[in-house]
Amino acid sequence: MKAAIAKRGGEFKPSQMVEKAARWACMEKRKSGLMFYGGVGNGKTTIAHALCDVFNWLGGTKFARVSAVELTRRYSAMQETFINQKTAPCLFIDDLGCEEKTVKIYGTTYSPIIDVLTYRYERNLMTIVTTNFGEKELAEYYDIRIYDRMKEMFNRVAFTQESFRKL
């Protein structure tokens, strides 16, 4: 993570969010998911990638990584890839809420992200997500049923810092 931040010209400063992510990773009995939420540019994606790298490095756990926009696009364009990511033992979805909520295929409306989240919830599969949505926006965008499942599925970590990105 330090190298990723330095590569973009920033300075790594360990934070409470890093500590919370590490605690989740080390818990013996943890929720199957971890959600980083908050404003833009404050390290959610960087920490999520670093956490996936740690799991991959430790062995046995390989995270599939995809943005919510790309996962939604794959629903209609690359069905096999979509299914492989949906069913992966470990999945990181970046920027939840940036995707189109529904897609139409031959006149039928589908909700790919809701499909993925429901599938993973029902099977208790390890899932990490990042989003700029707060709790209210998540409930409104995905509906209260899916949001209620998210509350059970994810340990949530709020990122409240300002953007680290420089002009």
Distance CA 5, CA 47 (A): 10
Q: Please give the residue that has the higher pLDDT: either 72 or 78.
A: 72
Q: Which of 78-87, 125-134, 153-162 has the highest mean pLDDT?
A: 125-134
Distance CA 119, CA 129 (A): 15
Mean pLDDT of 70-79: 86
- Least confident range of 6-20, 73-87, 99-113: 6-20
Mean pLDDT of 144-165: 86
Query: At which residue do the structure tokens 């996936």 appear?
Result: 52
Distance CA 143, CA 32 (A): 21
Residue 127: beta bridge partners?
A: 33, 91
Contact 43, 163 (CB under 8 A): no
Q: Does domain 2-6+16-159 bear CATH number 3.30.70.580? A: no
Sort 51 into a burial class: Cβ within 10 Å, 0-12 / 13-18 / 19+: buried
Distance CA 120, CA 86 (A): 7
Q: Helices in 61-111 by DSSP H: which ranges?
A: 68-77, 79-86
- pLDDT over threshold 80, residue 164: no
Distance CA 75, CA 86 (A): 10
